[in-house]
Structure 1
């Protein structure tokens, strides 16, 4: 009999051990549903200035951290000979432009000769008129009067010749200026993409190559962008992209500031699938003003839905088929529930439970 009692006692003990339970009192809390995304942080507007062909990097005129102005030259690609040719053409344009000016040496010298010729023409014309009148009164000979008239005609011709020469020289110098400009324009067009200029007033974030190094086609040489404003470039799995909308809040962390959370707002969804990663790129404007570092990696949660005062239970307490063990006195009863959003270790209960209910989970189930 004692043996039977001992066996019965051991059986009860085993049952008690197997039926150990943990409990949770159902309560309300704020519950967020989020989509995970990863990516990097970048300036709000940024530009990679690249080589448009394989070329030698002749000169880098900036360093990382420099503030630059729009259209400022940052780097020059090409060969020394090409650069020298461009310099010569620029000098030729400057010289031709100087020569074509109204006060250039050549035109000024001709203007002085024209002024003298005009004075002589006027004086000789007056002298011819005077001699003609004197010849009529026999004060001078007709021969002298004729010589005066010939001299006046010669002076007038010389004056007209100098005027024509001035106009011809002016056209010639203007033509040389135009030709020099056309040659420079052709050279500039041929060197398009070899003189890298900043497209914005901004900051140099990265210089990828040094003077004298060879840049291959499409190699980035300099990265510039707007300072102080940043955005996230995130990749979202194709299975989640339908949940993403502009205006949604983003909470992210970056390795540069470990353990610190920042916020952003979705403002752009690029509707093109990236086949390699089976994901879509979305962008978010960063609200925080911390000193971020471009191309730093980030991990983010995009807030899809938020429930205030949602009735929630730990996800471990939810069984297959969306049911829980509801404690009623000393008994446990399986009860069906209707679930809502899920967030991490928590599940929203839309119906089937109320605040204050106690649910249980059997350990080792």
Structure 2
């Protein structure tokens, strides 16, 4: 009985050894790629925000509508800016009347300057006449001094009025400009209550209903290109250094399970998303599907290298990244390109080297 057990054990071990899978390396083409999750989005997609707060009076468009640059999208109501605009308009009118009106301060100063000029002219005539008389020894020194003093006072008075006029004119002009700026600012704030499209495109979403409160921090709508779509690819940080603009990507979409689409990498965003530890890549279809919608999901493989007629083995036969099993024991190899199934062998074995699959 013991002998029979030993024989069966030896037969079983021999059978296991004989059943070890052996293959030979083969020459084939190999493509190495970087995997990425894919999401289709309209080109130039952006979220619409209001520049002011208020209450949404009405949506002027519907989801799916085609819009042009400047097309009104939403109307917001708020009484305060309208009142501010009216007050600013009244202030501007008052400032302009003070600057140009018949009862303006400048008009009064002009009349005072005219009177001071006449008075100066009169005092000037009296002074120079008295000085000529005094040169002829006619009149008194005190009378001459009085005439000189009156003449000098008249000069100073007119100079003061002219200086006041220039200063007042500048101040009033400044007030007019400030009032006009305030009025224009108020008008602009009123215009901001009608939110318009910044691009030619399509309305993909409306986030608010009439009657809801609108703030400057919440998006009101989403607008993007109506015909041009991009593919957003999320790539792991360990692979981002392998990518460059212009590389080809193979895209599979859940909505088109039997098709593979080619695309080209057009943009690499330099900032890593700390939450997902990924980088965002944008690619465009070489020949897009007939129908696309925002948010269509799928997978992408960005091709980083391709080689023809190279020595390859199944990846399952590689041990610790650089060793293979042969009938003569383990052999160290140098590897090159890799994909999910196969790996390129640069050195260590040849096409005639038998390989044994490692035990799992």
Answer yes or no: same fold by TM over 0.5: yes
TM-score (norm 2): 0.65
Give the 3 Å change call, closer, same or farther, for CA 287–192 of structure 1 in structure 2: farther
Give the 3 Å change call, closer, same or farther, for CA 4–81 of structure 1 in structure 2: closer
Give the 3 Å change call, closer, same or farther, for CA 210–322 of structure 1 in structure 2: same
CA distance in 1, matches of 2:338, 2:34: 11
Contact 2:261 2:288 in 1 (8 A): no
Q: Which residue of 2 aligns with 1:230?
A: 229
Q: What does 1:1-365 correspond to in 2, within 5 Å?
A: 6-19=4-17, 20-79=19-78, 185-191=184-190, 193-290=192-289, 291-320=291-320, 322-326=322-326, 331=327, 333-355=329-351, 357-361=353-357, 364-365=359-360
Task: Compare 186-195 and 259-268 and name the one that shifted more.
Answer: 186-195
Offset at 1:300?
1.9
Equivalent residues, number:
270
Tell me the secondary structure at the aligned position of residue 350 of structure 1.
strand
Contact 1:58 1:79 in 2 (8 A): no
CA distance in 2, matches of 1:24, 1:215: 69
CA distance in 1, matches of 2:182, 2:274: 47
TM-score (norm 1): 0.64
CA distance in 1, matches of 2:22, 2:56: 70
Q: Which runs of 5+ in 1 are unaligned?
A: 90-177
Tell me the secondary structure at the aligned position of residue 35 of structure 1.
strand
Offset at 1:310?
2.6
Tell me the secondary structure at the aligned position of residue 261 of structure 1.
strand
Offset at 1:192?
5.6
Contact 2:66 2:226 in 1 (8 A): no
CA distance in 2, matches of 1:345, 1:230: 32
Tell me the secondary structure at the aligned position of residue 302 of structure 1.
strand
CA distance in 2, matches of 1:225, 1:346: 42
How much is the aligned-residue C-alpha RMSD, in angstroms?
3.2
Offset at 1:257?
2.8
Offset at 1:293?
1.3
Contact 1:338 1:350 in 2 (8 A): yes
Give the 3 Å change call, closer, same or farther, for CA 294–193 of structure 1 in structure 2: farther
Q: Which residue of 2 aligns with 1:136?
A: none
Offset at 1:50?
1.1
